[in-house]
Amino acid sequence: MKNDPFRLFRHGLAVAACLVAGVSYAAAADALEVQQPGRLRIAVYADFPPYSHKGKGVDIAIGRELANRLGLAADVVEVAADEDMNDDLRNMVWKGHYLGTRPGDVMLHVPVDQYLAEKNDKVRIFAPYHLESLAVARDPARVPPVKGSAATALEVFTREKIGVETASLADDFLLSVLNGRLRDNVVHFKTVADAVAALKAGTIAAVMASRAEVEGALGAPGKIDVSTVAMPELRIKGWALGMAVKADNTQLADALSKAMVDIQRDGTLGRIFREHGVTHQTP
């Protein structure tokens, strides 16, 4: 309300809280174990829109915000994915790449998974900030809502073509489900963006990929409908994304965890996702 007598008082408290937080972060920054004093080296995946691509993306924006909250300058390094997640953690967190690229102080976009954590005792995985899931983008004039069991939801793709990124989770699922009946209508693309472009052009009727990648590639969806995939046959319902630091860097992990909680609570995290056209899903 415009005439709320407590409005200015509450605003003053909020400003004071922010100032105190800024002072405490700045004071703590000097005590953090980072490779270069005053700077946070943030490792993200290269060529992975909408999360990270040529200096822009959700993960890059989150990394810069976290560094700022810790009173550190952000140095973002985009690293190509290796054979598997174990290799990525070695290259981007605890050892570095054999070609000479130094690891980051922190890596973003790490699955918060107990099995992965147990296999990688040189890193600490923590602070989930987004729940990723598979989604289907479809032309409603050609494909009905993808609901129910695979036999019901995917039957249309015995006639219509659906695009996937090669060697992705969606690719593996569609090639194997229903005893391989959809194989002839699964169209492979190098990237999700390429698949979405084909959907917009009408050469395919749908795309299955991670929801964030689909939304990022679509931009304004127009006539295209996007919905999360949920069916009994899909073993992986969703996966939480978090961060990783070296296993013994407890102070940095604790500081980053607090900063992540802060940007979630004050709405900054949600704003970052919205600005990149992605639906934020809380883990």
Are the C-beta atoms of 196 and 225 separated by less than 8 Å?
Answer: no
Examine residue 210 and state whether it is found in any structural domain, yes or no. yes
Q: Is residue 126 located within the same domain as residue 31?
A: yes
Classify residue 185: in a domain, yes or no. Answer: yes
Please check whether residue 1 lies inside any domain of the structure: no
Give the pLDDT score at 100.
78
243 and 114 in a common domain: yes
Question: Do residues 158 and 195 both lie within one domain?
Answer: yes
Q: In terms of domains, do 102 and 214 share one?
A: no
77 strand-pairing partners: 43
Q: Are residues 71 and 106 in the same domain?
A: yes
Cα dihedral across residues 55, 58, 60, 64: positive or negative = positive
Between 1 and 203, the more confident residue is 203
What is the gyration radius of the CA atoms in the chain, in angstroms?
21
CATH number reported for the structural domain that contains residue 162 in this entry: 3.40.190.10
* Strand partners for 162: 186, 206
Same domain, 150 and 161: yes
pLDDT at res. 3: 43
Whether 126 and 138 map to the same domain: the answer is no
- β-bridge partners, 124: 245
Q: Report the run of H or E that residue 117 belongs to, with start and end.
A: helix 114-119
**Span 230-245, pLDDT tens digits:** 899 998 889 999 999 9
Q: Per the domain annotation, does 148 fall within a domain?
A: yes
2 assigned to some structural domain: no
Q: How many helices (H) and strands (E) does the chain have?
A: 10, 10
Q: In terms of C-beta distances under 8 Å and separation of at least 24 residues, what long-range contacts does 220-227 make, across chains too?
A: 221/137, 223/139, 223/140, 223/141, 224/137, 224/138, 224/139, 224/199, 224/200, 225/137, 225/138, 225/140, 225/145, 226/135, 226/136, 226/137, 227/135, 227/136, 227/138, 227/145, 227/146
Average pLDDT over residues 81-105: 92
Coil, strand or helix at 48 = strand
Position 282 in a domain: no
What confidence tier does 19 reach under pLDDT thresholds 50, 70, 90?
Answer: very low
Total domains present in the chain: 2
Range of the domain at 111: 7-132+239-275
3-state SS assignment for residue 72: coil
Per-residue pLDDT of 31-79, as tens digits, reads 799 999 999 999 999 999 999 999 999 999 999 999 999 999 999 999 9
